[in-house]
Structure 1
Amino acid sequence: MKKHILEVDGIQKKYNERVILSDVYLKCETSQIIGLLGRNGSGKSTLLKIIFGIVRASNKCIRIDSVSKNNENNVSNEVSYLSQEQFIPNHLSVKKAIALSIDKQKIKFFYEDEFIQSILNKRISHLSGGELRYLEIKIVLFNPSKFVLLDEPYNGLSPIMIDKVNELIKVNSQNRGIVITDHNYKNVIKISTQVILIKEGKTHYIRNNAELVTKGYLVDLELL
């Protein structure tokens, strides 16, 4: 299997003269799960949006397999993105949403999931927040991209559903790189192969959980 590499460097982003990101370096390779941590407003979601190309940055250097993507507004053929906001229209049925999103050859495999089977005959507007989130995550993870960016995937999920999502992420990481950020930091840390902390606009590669305390993200390791 060919290994793919996503590199992000030199990102600078301001909002109303407030510096959000100023010294960012992120590298994600096939089979890696990068956990992105940081306080509220630290720029985690903004960074994912810049990588995906839906938020502009005055300075950025984005490379995939050593090829610059700086001048490309859309990298969706190589990067999949799960936003915090709902992206499936409410008027669709679950079956129609799947048919529009998943390759026909993969739909049968997509259906081989007890939870998906349980919601197949519903409309999107009738799904609970957790049901909708799971469907969106699975659709994004089924895209044939080299990398996946997941913003708040655990939002609205029960503990059982979080376990199912974590299993999906682990399976998908075998042939792609994944970057995940979520307020549920315990699960982010648990599933990640590398944790990166954004603090004061800069990225810090975390070597062990104790560094999350020394860098002020956690008060005590017992919170894990």
Structure 2
Amino acid sequence: MQNKFEADSIRKAFGDKQVLTDIYIKCRSGDIIGLLGRNGSGKSTLLKILYGTLYTDYKHISVNDDIINHPFKKRGIVSFLHQDNFLPKSLTVRSVIQLFEHKTDDPEFINDEILKKVYDTKIRNLSGGESRYLEIKLILSIDSQFTFLDEPFNGISPVHIELVKDMIRKHAFKKGIILTDHDYRNVLDVANIFMILFDGGLKILKSKEELIYWGYLPDNSLISQ
């Protein structure tokens, strides 16, 4: 079954500043939507609204045509990777995996070349990149129809980034994914749909070159793409 997440008429203001204006977005199983935009354009704000944890002036959200204005309250709808680290620092990697997976022998984790080296290490002793890698893997492994990833590549080494992109592609076979990151090159590499937040509106891009048209990138930035 192909699932559909649809949001319409999203508006959000902070004081006198209108951040989002009549946003419409649709995500289906198999979609990897790359959400781009300058700092302060409202990318994280939009993801929190879609997840249902941030109050907004108006929104209409549906999943498979059923109205669900707070998706986070319904199990199996959306999993969300926030920008901030969330793993308990006093627990070991093994214990954290057990909390999420309810088992410690999942081959996807115990055979992972990165994690098996630190399986009995406490979270506080991991590098920032190792911790973020584990968070991404855990969130993607949650049995949900959709996953939102806010800054997944932040703090991760180039080698780990390629593994993360492979993970995203793998999980997109069975779920829809919306991600945003300041490292636009990785977003362009892994996404199959591109959108940009500009002046409070959300534009669907027909080509990467439109990022230049909308002023997100300088004229020569895509030469090496």
What interval of TM-score do these two structures reach, taking the shorter chain for normalisation?
Answer: over 0.9
Q: Secondary structure at the match of 2:202?
A: strand
Question: CA separation in 2, counterparts of 1:95 and 1:198?
Answer: 39
1:53/1:75 contact within 8 Å kept = no
1:148/1:179 contact within 8 Å kept = yes
1:82/1:150 contact within 8 Å kept = yes
2:32/2:172 contact within 8 Å kept = yes
1:52/1:75 contact within 8 Å kept = no
Q: Aligned AA for 2:113?
A: E
So what's the TM-score if we normalise by structure 2?
Answer: 0.95
Alignment of 1:42-191 (within 5 A): 42-70=41-69, 74-104=73-103, 107-191=106-190
Q: Secondary structure at the match of 1:161?
A: helix
Q: 1:113 to 1:72 in 2, by over 3 A?
A: closer
2:98/2:104 contact within 8 Å kept = no
Any stretches of 5+ residues in structure 1 without a counterpart?
Answer: none
Superposition deviation, residue 118 in structure 1: 1.0
Superposition deviation, residue 71 in structure 1: 5.7
1:15-43 alpha-carbon deviations (Å, 9 max, x no partner):
12211101211111101100000000000
Identical aligned pairs, as a percentage?
Answer: 39
Partner of 1:14: 13
1:148/1:178 contact within 8 Å kept = yes
Superposition deviation, residue 108 in structure 1: 3.5
Q: 1:201 to 1:14 in 2, by over 3 A?
A: same
Superposition deviation, residue 110 in structure 1: 2.4
Question: CA separation in 2, counterparts of 1:216 and 1:161?
Answer: 30
Any stretches of 5+ residues in structure 2 without a counterpart?
Answer: none
Question: CA separation in 2, counterparts of 1:106 and 1:181?
Answer: 31
Q: Aligned AA for 2:98?
A: A
Superposition deviation, residue 107 in structure 1: 2.5
Q: Secondary structure at the match of 2:106?
A: helix
Q: Figure out how many residues of one structure are paired with residues of the other and give that number.
A: 223
Superposition deviation, residue 130 in structure 1: 0.1
Q: Secondary structure at the match of 2:114?
A: helix
1:13/1:21 contact within 8 Å kept = yes
Superposition deviation, residue 76 in structure 1: 4.8
Partner of 1:34: 33
Superposition deviation, residue 119 in structure 1: 1.2
Q: Secondary structure at the match of 1:24?
A: strand
Q: 1:153 to 1:141 in 2, by over 3 A?
A: same
Superposition deviation, residue 211 in structure 1: 0.9
